[in-house]
Chain A
């Protein structure tokens, strides 16, 4: 696969990844966000953070299972889209939901664990996004890998944040918990040795 093809695929994925955001704008513009638009925006941006985090964390195991090295070329973009939706989610909270009422926001963060957990997750994703450019990887060396392992913590905290604001029906947060658990189990060497690989099913595409 040449660079031109990769760029084409990347552009396609980029536009696809923007769809949830575009749909939200469209629904807002055509007045279809429901009785509580701010809640709809908060929930929609929130769930897409977790979805993109699942996609991001699925790339490494998928690469191993399928032998498709090319997949890794899309990982950073998926990670950055996770951060994009996290930023929208955070912005929705401070702007639309709280309307920059800083004293209240500080109190909210201090007093309510699910807000603290959500805020911490955002800070982690922010630090990962800031250190994502290639020159940062070079500059940070070994520290880069250590820092970026925090993505697993972000997945766990993000799911906790979700569970903690649900009143009683925890089915959806549990689904994400299960998905993240599987993706983490697939990273354990002892488990990796036992999982079959399907490299033969695909025509190998070099990255």
Chain B
């Protein structure tokens, strides 16, 4: 499957072709043979072999000078088409396919983030300044959804820790909380409806300060080397790869440093099913379904879910005194 690339990068760095960002090059060599569904399923072949990666036309601006990050899952990337058409983003509808349609004309310019709470100087950050100020890295992470599917995404972003240091939180800041934009006119899923999506808007998420400062935690502004598609949480979202996907809040407009643990959307809706920590853990089932295995998009057989989504080495230390069964 691997075709030798003539680029110098590979020879110099030993990065596998599948890990290289350039989507066109990457996809052009991933033109798998199409098989009849029944045949492929029947013979137990990976579905990936059927998922011919069609060339998607999308004119988005590219990031230049991306820093290649040492954080790289080193696994086959989930095709761009799947990453951008299979989304949980209830602000734009509750089905997986609706965000790509409903968020199409969502305007993300201008965009600001207010920073408040336990900081020396509360302020409002402009998106342009963020993009200018922070050097952007490519981070190839596994993303594990609480619904037991997963993907591998090459995000573009920068460590949340860099931003936090610049904001100078006070000693009282024990937690950091985030909010998504609340604007039902622009986010149709937030419109009040009889038996709506069930969520309480705006979407809220939060982390403990040590979790927020962990080098793995990033604010992402793009994927596949391009600016973030609207359906994936443009213009800026959180990525916490060792936690279930719902922790990685999208379209952030507010960051608040707090002394007390903030309320988080899914834990508010169903506290017995979704906790504040939401660390990926194969040994703690969702009350209604198993978390021990997951379906990697593009694969046929389920794979075993890894503790902390495979990032135990980097994060397990933060939880050594925590009863993970109780604080799920």
- Where the two chains meet, the residues of A that have a C-beta atom closer than 8 Å to any C-beta of B are 25, 28-29, 31, 33-39, 95-99, 104, 107-108, 111-114, 164-165, 167-171, 174
B196 at the interface (CB under 8 A from A): yes
B38 at the interface (CB under 8 A from A): yes
**Contact, CB under 8 Å: B86 / A35:** yes
Give Cα A165–Cα B289 distance, bound, in whole angstroms. 8
| Residues of chain A with a CB closer than 8 A to B293's CB | 104
Q: Which of B34, B195, B289 contacts A31 (CB 8 A)?
A: B34
Q: Work out how many contacts link A and B, with CB atoms closer than 8 A.
A: 81
- Shortest Cβ distance from residue B275 to the other chain A in the assembled complex, whole angstroms: 15
- Shortest Cβ distance from residue B279 to the other chain A in the assembled complex, whole angstroms: 19
**Contact, CB under 8 Å: A35 / B44:** no
**Contact, CB under 8 Å: B41 / A174:** no
Q: Which of B37, B85, B96, B149 contacts A28 (CB 8 A)?
A: B37
Interface residue ranges of B29-49 to A (CB < 8 Å): 34, 36-38, 41, 44, 47
Closest A residue by C-beta to B274: A167
| Residues of chain B with a CB closer than 8 A to A96's CB | 41, 300
**Contact, CB under 8 Å: A39 / B149:** yes
Give Cα A96–Cα B41 distance, bound, in whole angstroms. 7
- Where the two chains meet, the residues of B that have a C-beta atom closer than 8 Å to any C-beta of A are 34, 36-38, 41, 44, 47, 50-52, 78, 81-82, 85-86, 90, 94, 96-97, 147, 149, 195-199, 269-270, 285, 288-290, 293, 295, 297-298, 300-302
| Residues of chain A with a CB closer than 8 A to B285's CB | 111
Additional pairs, 17, CB under 8 Å, beyond known A108-B290, A169-B90: A28-B36, A29-B37, A31-B51, A33-B37, A36-B96, A37-B37, A37-B47, A95-B41, A96-B41, A97-B302, A98-B302, A99-B300, A99-B301, A164-B288, A165-B288, A169-B196, A171-B195
- Shortest Cβ distance from residue B40 to the other chain A in the assembled complex, whole angstroms: 9
- Shortest Cβ distance from residue A89 to the other chain B in the assembled complex, whole angstroms: 15
**Contact, CB under 8 Å: A168 / B86:** no
Give Cα A25–Cα B36 distance, bound, in whole angstroms. 9
**Contact, CB under 8 Å: B288 / A168:** no
Give Cα A36–Cα B148 distance, bound, in whole angstroms. 12
**Contact, CB under 8 Å: B82 / A35:** yes
- Shortest Cβ distance from residue A175 to the other chain B in the assembled complex, whole angstroms: 10
Give Cα A53–Cα B97 distance, bound, in whole angstroms. 27
| Residues of chain A with a CB closer than 8 A to B44's CB | 99
**Contact, CB under 8 Å: B289 / A112:** yes
Q: Across chains A and B, which 5 residue pairs bring their CB atoms closest together, nearest first?
A: A28-B37, A168-B198, A35-B86, A35-B82, A169-B94
Give Cα A169–Cα B93 distance, bound, in whole angstroms. 10
- Shortest Cβ distance from residue B315 to the other chain A in the assembled complex, whole angstroms: 25
Give Cα A175–Cα B41 distance, bound, in whole angstroms. 33
Q: Which of B86, B290, B300 contacts A34 (CB 8 A)?
A: B86
Task: Supply 16 A–B pairs (Cβ within 8 Å), ascending by A.
Answer: A29-B36, A31-B51, A31-B52, A35-B78, A35-B82, A35-B297, A36-B149, A38-B47, A38-B300, A39-B149, A99-B300, A104-B293, A111-B290, A164-B288, A168-B270, A169-B90
Closest A residue by C-beta to B149: A36
